[in-house]
Amino acid sequence: MTERIEKLRKFLEASPKDCFLNHALALEYVKAGDEAAARTHFELNMTNDPGYVATYYHLGKLLERTGAQQEAIAIYERGMAAAKAAKDMHSYNELQGAYEDLVY
C-alpha cells in the first residue's frame, strides 16, 4: 500500500491541485488507517475545488468514524448543495442517505 501512496505523492508533486489525485491519495490513507492524512487531502480538495462532489461523501464518512458527527452533518449538507449545483443526482442521493442515516 505504501508503494501506491508514494506513487500518488510523486504525481501530486507535479500537479498539487489535481483533485482526482488528492482524492485517490486520501482513499489510500483511509485504507492504511491514517485518518489524519486522509482528512488533510479531502479538505485540500474542498479548498481547491468545492465542486468536486466525491470528496464530501468520503470526508463525511471519515468524520463519522472519528466521532465528529456534527462536522459530518455539515459536510453532507455542503455536499448535497454541491451535487445539486452540478446536477449530479446520484451523488446527491448518496449524500442525502448518509445525512439521513446520521441525523434521524
Confidence class for position 77, pLDDT limits 50, 70, 90: very high
Nearest to 84 by CA among 36, 51, 39, 57: 51
DSSP code at position 47? H
In angstroms, how far is CA 4 from the centroid of its own chain? Answer: 18
Q: Specify the pLDDT at position 2.
A: 85
Nearest to 99 by CA among 63, 70, 81, 73: 73
Nearest to 98 by CA among 77, 82, 81: 77
Domain span at residue 32 reads 2-103
pTM above 0.75? yes
Number of domains in the chain: 1
Nine cell digits for residue 24 = 485517490
pLDDT at 28 over 90: yes
pLDDT at 47 over 80: yes
Count CB-CB contacts under 10 A for residue 11: 15
Domain harbouring 58, CATH code: 1.25.40.10
